[in-house]
């Protein structure tokens, strides 16, 4: 099987999982944005994904992504979803259309200053870990205040919330909590309609609990070789 056939097959399986789950959840499949998480994979794989129609790519390292995007068409929507370092933000803002992993006001301020001419889409990352914030993301108890401060910044637009399920918690409870946090959040920040949750192993439970953006890596591209 060629690499193109392999990726095309994997992509169909993922799209079927999304479609079946949307039917079960009585949700419109067009509400779901599939982001192919392309970190660690070479630019040839990204070109294959592009040829299969994908236009949303997720990366978590600035150096890697800023190189890859030079070799790809410019109608791709690039998502940065890794841990943010202040000194990398200038570069990240030069290629990322959306920054999914904002969890500190000081980072949002830098992004805003860099994006005054064309405000940057961001998600606020919420921690679902116990104790909170152990792997990035803001403590849910501090989310509203952070978002309130961020709404004052002219160069960023909060699209929604992003979260990663706790490593040791495969059941639905984390996603139930997250949906509750997001519903409450939208009542205060009505423009923040999106919820980025769901990876290869948990996309079904994420869709059942309101995810609008899925970040899928290994189910489409196979196992990553550790860097
Ligand atoms: C790597 C990564 C993903 C994709 O994970 P898979 O299990 O390969 O689908 C999604 N979200 C974040 C934040 C990641 O770092």
- Determine whether the shortest distance from the Cβ of 137 to ligand 1 is under 6 A: no
Atom 10 of ligand 1, residue of closest alpha carbon: 215
Q: How buried is residue 198: exposed, middle or buried, by Cβ count under 10 Å (0-12/13-18/19+)?
A: buried
- Predicted structure pTM score: 0.97
Domain ranges of the chain: 3-221
- Which residues, in sequence order, are CB contacts of 203 under 8 Å at separation 6+? 14, 17, 18, 21, 211, 214, 216, 219
pLDDT, tens digit (0-9, with 9 covering 90-100), for 115-134: 999 999 999 999 999 899 88
User: Is residue 200 lining ligand 1, measured as CB closer than 6 Å?
Assistant: yes
- Residue 13: band (very low, low, confident or very high) from pLDDT cuts 50, 70, 90: very high
Architecture of domain 3-221: Alpha-Beta Barrel (3.20)
CB 72 within 8 A of CB 43: yes
Burial class (CB in 10 A: 0-12, 13-18, 19+), 139: middle
Closest atom of ligand 1 relative to the 201 alpha carbon = 7
């Amino acid at each position: 099987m060629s690499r193109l056939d392999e990726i095309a097959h994997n992509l169909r399986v993922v799209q079927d999982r999304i479609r079946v789950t949307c039917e079960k959840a009585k949700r419109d499949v067009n509400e779901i944005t599939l982001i192919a998480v392309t970190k660690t994979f070479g630019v040839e794989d990204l070109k294959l994904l592009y040829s299969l129609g994908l236009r949303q790519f997720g990366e978590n390292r600035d150096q890697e992504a800023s190189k890859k995007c030079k070799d790809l068409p410019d109608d791709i929507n690039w998502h940065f979803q890794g841990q943010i370092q202040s000194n990398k933000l200038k570069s990240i803002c030069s290629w990322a259309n959306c920054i999914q992993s904002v969890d500190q006001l000081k980072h949002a301020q830098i992004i805003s200053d860099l994006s005054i001419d064309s405000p940057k889409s961001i998600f606020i990352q919420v921690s679902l870990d116990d104790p909170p914030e152990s792997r990035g993301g803001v403590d849910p108890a501090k989310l509203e205040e952070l978002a309130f401060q961020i709404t004052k910044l002219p160069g960023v637009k909060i699209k929604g919330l992003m979260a990663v399920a706790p490593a040791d918690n495969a059941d639905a409870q984390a996603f139930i909590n997250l949906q509750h946090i997001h519903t409450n959040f939208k009542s205060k920040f009505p423009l923040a309609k999106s919820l980025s949750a769901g990876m290869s192993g948990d996309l079904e439970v994420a869709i059942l609990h309101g995810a609008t953006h899925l970040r899928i890596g290994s189910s489409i591209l196979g196992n990553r070789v550790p860097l």
